[in-house]
Amino acid sequence: MLTPNVANLGLQFSCSMNCLTRICPLITLRLLACQSRGSMNWLYRNIGRAIHGYVVKVGRDVRDDVSVNSALVFMYPRFGDLDPAGSIFWSMPERNVVAWNTMISVYAQTGNIKETWGLFNQMLVEGFEANEITLSCMANSSNELLQGMMIHGLVIKIGLIEDEIIGASLIDMYARLNSLVDAQKLFDVKPRSEMGSWNSLILGYAKNGYPREALNLFYRLRDHRNLCPNSISFLGALNACAALGAVKEGKVIHDYFVNSGFKVDRIIGTSLIDMYSKCGCVDTARDIFEGMKDKDLVAWSAMISGHGVNGEVKEAIKLFDRMRKNYHLKPDNVIFTSILSACSHSGMLEEGWFYFNEMKRVYGLEPKQEQYACIVDLLGRAGKLDESLDFIKEMPIEPDVSVWGALLGACRIHNNMKLGIYAAEKLFELETKDAGYYVLLSNLYAAIGRWNDVKKVRELMKSRGVQKPPGRSWVDLNGSIHEFFVGDKSHPQSDKIYMKLDELGEKMKEMGYIPDTNLVLHDVDDEVKEEKLTSHSERLAIAFALINTKHGEPIRVTKNLRVCADCHRTTKLISKITGRKIIVRDARRFHHFEGGKCSCADYW
């Protein structure tokens, strides 16, 4: 028995069967009203089925009506019932563009991309012309650039390029597919009055490695006469600050968000936790976390990860245990990756094993590649390379790039040439495009003077189109990013920077520092190697920050690659000589240097 019957929805079917002009639109409207309503979902689902039952009984003229059937196709997937929608669509004696669009959108919104494209192609084959709704939906369903370009071409051919909705969809598509030049071109064609285009491009830049461009666009939106940033705009800006390690800009944007009258919800709260954690401000991140009333697993994972990458593994473990015991939340694979990574960052092998085993034993979760890679990394960094290999061989799933990469990295640390080559061979069988793994193998060869093999690795990279990103470090000074490359002399203050490094170098040598020239992986003499070490990008960035910041102010440097052992040692000494706290974020973790010590305890 339905609690409110169909009449409670206002369906009055007292009209005669001849009044199809009235009954069909009425049924259509009521079907469209029967969509998911949160806690009332079951009720509206039953009402929708009851209306469908009425349609079947009332007669062929109603049963075959295009608008009624389109509404049924639209309704069922809202309750997770995709099969009835497909059956109704294919049994329709007559289909119009609205019906095709409805079914295409159903497949697209439920993630059935292959079916979406199959249906779209069949629609064209049967002679129907796509309209703005069809093309907007297909732009959103394009997972490959070639598909997207085809839709863009069709938009131009039909003459819909001026349509704002389609324009926004195309901008979003190109941004999502990392074709940001095309997205920007479309964006610049005419003034954009819809927020979707602005947000798509801001998020596209932020997610695809162009954080400064994301922030510049955000500031343009902020200064716009008729538009204001919304929560999605702020999300993109905060992600960009996190990527840059630009804590000052992040704080300004945070304040602007609050002063604009927005409330910190779970999504923005989690983004703030991530941003402050990635800027080394764990205490601020924790304050925001504790202030969130409705924390989901994503927020817990972000905070646990924040503690882990900043070397606070005990805090990460405490938080993980608190989440389970006090809040009775069931961890998922993402949470376990966060806690296992935290253990890996600090070499806590026993704890890592404990949590890895708990995944399946307590929570029934099957470990995925990320969790296996964490254990391989833990074992490998602890010097247990044979155990690490045995663990890989016993994996119930085929190891991927992350697993073999973790083993290769451990082999580089412990100079295990034989196993390192084996891991590299497995990696290259997977045809990885990650230059870091090729560089690791090259470094293994270089460390023992096998320069011909170094050359072969470089040739392999070239043949596969793999390019090594240059090492670079940057500092955020008063909202401006100052970037440095190895041996860089392009900065206006280069003379002062190198003078500062020479001054620090003399003081370090008085403290017993001897450059580790074995870390310079080039076939040159020791004097040249020492010079190359001195001009590593993070040292240039640190020297610049020392010159341009007040005494006692923390220095924050971000580097795109892992910090080498010699730079790690010199930064500890610089922190002691200058009495400054130096926070370096590299490709793997954070290093908080203070008083000649590092938060990583020399384990990274």
Residue 514 confidence (pLDDT): 82
Residue 396 confidence (pLDDT): 95
Residue 478 confidence (pLDDT): 81
Question: What angle, rounded to 10 degrees, do the helices at 247-259 and 211-222 form?
Answer: 30
Residue 66 has pLDDT above 90, yes or no: no
DSSP state of 450: -
Domain with CATH 1.25.40 in the chain: 368-468
Percent of the chain predicted with pLDDT > 70: 85
pLDDT, tens only, 115-154 = 999 999 999 999 999 999 999 999 999 989 999 999 999 9
pLDDT, tens only, 446-462 = 877 888 988 888 888 88
Residue 485 confidence (pLDDT): 92
Residue 30 has pLDDT above 60, yes or no: no
pLDDT band at 44 (very low <50, low <70, confident <90, very high): low
Listed in sequence order, the residues at least 6 apart from 219 whose beta carbon sits closer than 8 Å to its beta carbon are none
Residue 532 confidence (pLDDT): 60
Residue 467 confidence (pLDDT): 81
Q: Which residues pair with 583 in a beta bridge?
A: 556, 592
pLDDT, tens only, 346-362 = 889 999 999 999 999 99
Mean pLDDT of 564-579: 92
Q: Which of 48, 604, 44 lies closest to 346, judged by CA?
A: 604
Listed in sequence order, the residues at least 6 apart from 435 whose beta carbon sits closer than 8 Å to its beta carbon are 461, 466, 467, 468, 469
Please, what is the average pLDDT of the chain? 85
Residue 155 confidence (pLDDT): 93
DSSP string for 502-522: HHHHHHHHHTT----GGG--S
Between CA 467 and CA 325 the distance in angstroms is 47
Which 3 state secondary structure label does DSSP give 485? strand
Which 3 state secondary structure label does DSSP give 558? strand
Identity (one letter) of the amino acid at 149?
M
Q: Which CATH number applies to 368-468?
A: 1.25.40
State how far the alpha carbon of 375 is from the alpha carbons of 317, 380, 381, 604, in Å.
Answer: 16, 8, 10, 15
Mean pLDDT of 281-302: 94
Between CA 113 and CA 132 the distance in angstroms is 19
| 44 and 36 Cβ atoms separated by less than 8 Å | yes
Instruction: Give the helix/strand (H/E) hosting 582.
Output: strand 582-585
pLDDT, tens only, 165-203 = 899 999 999 999 989 999 999 999 877 778 889 999 999
Q: How far is CA 413 from the centre of its chain?
A: 28
Between CA 479 and CA 392 the distance in angstroms is 46
Residue 36 has pLDDT above 80, yes or no: no
pLDDT band at 429 (very low <50, low <70, confident <90, very high): confident
Mean pLDDT of 508-532: 61
Residue 182 confidence (pLDDT): 94
Listed in sequence order, the residues at least 6 apart from 26 whose beta carbon sits closer than 8 Å to its beta carbon are 11, 12
Residue 5 confidence (pLDDT): 47
Structural tokens at position 508: 């370090």
Residue 401 has pLDDT above 90, yes or no: yes
Side-chain-side CA neighbours of residue 533 (13 Å): 25
pLDDT band at 49 (very low <50, low <70, confident <90, very high): low
pLDDT, tens only, 219-277 = 999 999 889 999 999 999 999 999 988 898 999 999 999 999 999 999 999 999 999 99
